[in-house]
Amino acid sequence: MKKRTFLLKFSALLLVLSYFSGIFTASSVYAEEDILTITQNAGYQTSDFYKPKASIVIEAQTGQVLWADNPDLNWNPASIAKLMSAYLVFEAIAQGKFTLETTVKATDSDQAISQIYELSNNTIVSGVDYPVRDLLYATLVQSSNVATVMLANLVTANDEAKFIHLMNDKAKELGMTKTTFYNCSGADTASFNGYYNPVGIDQNADNVSTARDLAILSYHLLKEYPDTVTYTSPTQITIMENTPYAEVLENHNYSLPGLAYGYEGADGLKTGSSPTGGFNYAATAVRGETRLIEVILGVGDWEDQNGELQRHAFGNAIFDRAFSTYEYKQLLTKGKQTINGEELNVSQDLYGVIQKGTEPTFTLSANQITFDNGLSEVSPTITAPSAEFQYAKKLKALQNSALLKNANQKNGLSTFFVNGLLIVLGLLLMALAKLFKKEPPAGSPKKINPLVIFGVLLALVGVGLSIYTLVVGPWL
């Protein structure tokens, strides 16, 4: 009885310890994955006040998600919206509508916008021609609202509302399912004092997007227009050089190497801040073969400008976490491979993201090789990496059957040629026999010309062999 009581008490104690151990473990895992803890553990001084409302990290080649915290929260992206405007400019250039050297003549309205103190701008002078290249630098380095408007008007021949519709159409095309644009630059239309007014568009509405959607936009921007980083990576650049309108632009992306939160490999993309959106950040960095994209939304509060720097602390910390955990590399080489016990012939090299120190698990389906890394794509419109293959035995059988088929075709042609030749020779001999036929003397018995006999035999053999070839196959 005592023994039974002891066992019951011991079992109860184990259950209690297991319960609290589970709570502790779950708390530890949560703490380890919390962006604030990750950032503090990385050595950055920050607090819960600055903790981002949403964040995401994806790998730039595959679009696979390496980190996500509230990625589908609706948020005002502020000037990150300029990335969509830049996308449409690069697309128009690719379509041959204009070039980087094309100039835009500044209007009185452009000059007036550039003088609005509340907007982030560069200096624009009415009547001056500004190259598209310099306006792109102003948009993506200085975050100039007026430069963005000038580029948007170039794309649509000054149809401001049409450009907004293009932005929203492109968002749908790219799979940005929770994004709506109301202006081209991130600043609400009303703040332009009437100098920028897309007809039929709500002047007071903020653009709406999510961390996921902005990551999708950044993925496509870098994939389709990789030169984007040329315009997002300078920490400082002079536009309109060697003219009276030369101007030095400063980048607000403080994670660029050499700036306050310089991060190894960082070369873009765009910052953004507003009273309703707080401080936001879309970034990309590359190390070796691995390029990452991240989006940080809602750091701090507009009233506390420290958020402008704090967003980079969080961005750098989760970049570190992703770079230290994952890598993009070649997983299979083209050619003969043995996978899951099967001998295969792989049609191309296979690259993908994998956790460091692990080996990929491959899946063979139909004629596609895929691998499981536990990651999902940022959008269903982006397909996971795969490679085509053929089973080596089947491939050999197919090759042999093809060779046999070709051989049969060649032999068939040769056989029919010989068959036909026999028939023609037979007919020719019969014709010659008739041509040189001599009448026998009167009263003599008629004799069959040997040429006729031989000709008939040749013709019959040719016909017989032709029938055999059709029914059985080539006899050669």
Q: Pick out the residues of the known binding site for substrate.
A: 270
Binding residues: 270
Instruction: Decide if 446 is catalytic.
Output: no
Q: In 3D, which of 135, 298, 137 has the Cα closest to residue 210?
A: 298
Instruction: Decide if 376 is catalytic.
Output: no
Instruction: Decide if 273 is catalytic.
Output: no
The catalytic residue among 55, 109, 143, 273 is 143
85: alpha, beta or left? (left if phi > 0; alpha if psi -120 to 50): alpha
Amino acid at site 53: K
CA distance 216 to 388: 26
The catalytic residue among 79, 233, 255, 274 is 79
C-beta of residue 199 within 8 angstroms of C-beta of residue 279: no
Q: What angle do CA 349, 351, 353 make, to 5 degrees?
A: 165
Residues carrying an active site annotation: 79, 82, 143
